[in-house]
């Protein structure tokens, strides 16, 4: 094959947990005096084992299947990096947002309970092009949940970051309500006074979505895949049961933007890109460098 001849695309993976499986072949003595197929492929057990091994690499194998499947021919393995010098009157930085999950406390059950997902995972699920074609389901068993809890999973954040996280959670709750008309939906978060005051009218108009201030102290497995939430609200501990739990994650400035800002001599703050105007361009220390402020609903 063409791509096997180019060493730049073939990478050794020392961390693959098991060696490649070999398909079953007809024994030599059974091949005599007949036209039976010699290569028998994988049986079910070997096929499952090989699929798990193949999906463990986590990196590009250089197989060029992406190139073969790309109808617009947007993938070009021959393309080399080029450096350009451009003259511009103004440079606009478009800030990306990251929502890291590695710091989410274990008490929320992410990675332990399949029916605990993040708001970004739900966002993908809600999309018509997502893995479930826009259908809201429980990852554990594919059932449609009759109750969904949105839970703040970070201890604290800058006010603008906290507001952005709550906006996403409420917007997703509204979309879930539209898809699951009879579902019980609840949003549980801390330090919501300022947010609720600013969006008082919008929150009061939410149909079938309960918004409450509190903190979830634990998420544990219940019966039939349900999740048992222990919450502290108004100094009172309560237990609630939900079919699906969505963790509200903390947005932060992307690492790429931080590195770019440092290279340009800018001191971009933690929540700088969510301060100031709702839309438009934000000023920086350099007159010729602007920051694109994202839209906030």
The secondary structure of the chain, three-state, reads: CHHHHCHHHCCCCCCCCCCCCCCEECCHHHCCCCCCCCEEECCHHHHHHHHHHHCCCCCCCCCCHHHHHCCCCCCCCCCCCCCCCCCCCCEEECCCEECCCCCCCHHHCCCCCCCEEEHHHHHHHHCCCCCCCCCCCCCCCCCCCCEEEEEECCCCCCHHHHHHHHHHHHHHHHHHHHHCCCCEEEEEECCCHHHHHHCHHHHHCCCCEEEEECEEEEEEECHHHCEEEEEEECCEEEEEEECEEEEECCCEECHHHHHHHHHCCCCCCCCHHHCCCCCEEEECCCCCEEEEECCCC
Question: 100-248 in CATH: which number?
Answer: 3.50.50.60
Spatial distance between the Cα atoms of 138 and 225, rounded to a whole number of angstroms: 9
Spatial distance between the Cα atoms of 167 and 203, rounded to a whole number of angstroms: 11
pLDDT at position 267: 73
- Give residue-wise pLDDT tens across range 216-231: 999 999 988 999 999 9
- Give residue-wise pLDDT tens across range 2-54: 344 333 444 455 555 666 677 788 888 888 888 788 888 888 888 887 777 66
- The alpha carbon of 214 is separated from its chain's Cα centroid by a whole number of angstroms, namely 25
| Average pLDDT along the chain | 81
- Give residue-wise pLDDT tens across range 133-182: 899 999 999 999 999 999 999 988 888 788 889 999 999 999 999 999 99
Spatial distance between the Cα atoms of 173 and 149, rounded to a whole number of angstroms: 9
pLDDT at position 59: 56
Sheet containing 147-152, strands listed edge to edge, beginning at the edge strand earlier in sequence: 116-118, 244-248, 147-152, 184-189, 209-213
Spatial distance between the Cα atoms of 56 and 226, rounded to a whole number of angstroms: 29
Spatial distance between the Cα atoms of 190 and 150, rounded to a whole number of angstroms: 12
Q: Are 216 and 230 in contact (CB under 8 A)?
A: yes
Report the DSSP pairing between strands 147-152 and 184-189: parallel
Question: For the chain, which residues make up each domain, given as ranges?
Answer: 2-69, 91-96+252-293, 100-248
pLDDT at position 11: 46
pLDDT at position 98: 80
Q: Per DSSP, what are the bridge partners of residue 41?
A: 24
Spatial distance between the Cα atoms of 190 and 252, rounded to a whole number of angstroms: 18
Spatial distance between the Cα atoms of 53 and 22, rounded to a whole number of angstroms: 12
Report the DSSP pairing between strands 116-118 and 244-248: parallel
Give whole-number Cα distances, 1 to 5, 14, 19, 20, 57, in Å: 7, 23, 22, 19, 21
- Give residue-wise pLDDT tens across range 252-287: 777 787 788 888 888 765 455 554 444 567 777 788
Q: Are 40 and 25 in contact (CB under 8 A)?
A: yes
């Amino acid at each position: 094959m063409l791509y096997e001849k180019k060493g730049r695309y073939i990478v050794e993976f020392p961390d693959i947990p098991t060696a490649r499986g070999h398909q079953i072949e007809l024994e030599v003595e059974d091949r005599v005096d007949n036209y039976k197929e010699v290569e028998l492929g994988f049986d079910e057990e070997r096929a499952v084992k090989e699929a798990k091994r193949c999906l463990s690499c986590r990196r590009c194998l250089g197989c060029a299947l992406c190139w073969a499947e790309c109808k617009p021919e947007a993938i070009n393995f021959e393309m080399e990096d080029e450096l350009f010098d451009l003259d511009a009157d103004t440079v606009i930085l478009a800030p990306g947002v990251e929502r890291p999950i590695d710091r989410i406390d274990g008490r929320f059950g992410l990675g332990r309970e399949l029916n605990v997902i993040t708001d970004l995972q739900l966002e993908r699920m809600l999309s018509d092009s997502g893995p479930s074609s826009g259908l809201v389901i429980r990852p554990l068993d594919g059932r449609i949940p009759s109750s969904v809890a949105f839970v703040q999973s970070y201890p604290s954040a800058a006010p603008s970051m906290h507001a952005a996280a709550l906006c996403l959670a409420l917007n997703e709750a509204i979309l879930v309500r539209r898809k699951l008309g009879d579902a019980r939906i609840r949003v549980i978060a801390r330090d919501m006074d300022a947010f609720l005051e600013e969006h008082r009218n919008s929150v009061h108009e939410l149909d079938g979505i309960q918004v409450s201030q509190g903190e979830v102290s634990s998420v544990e497995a219940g019966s039939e895949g349900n999740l048992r939430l222990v919450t502290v609200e108004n100094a009172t501990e309560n237990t609630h049961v939900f079919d699906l739990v969505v963790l509200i994650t903390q947005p932060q400035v992307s690492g790429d933007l931080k590195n770019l800002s440092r290279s340009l001599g800018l001191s971009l703050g933690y929540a700088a890109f969510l301060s100031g105007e709702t839309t438009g361009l934000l000023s920086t220390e350099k007159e010729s460098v602007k920051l694109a402020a994202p839209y906030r609903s």
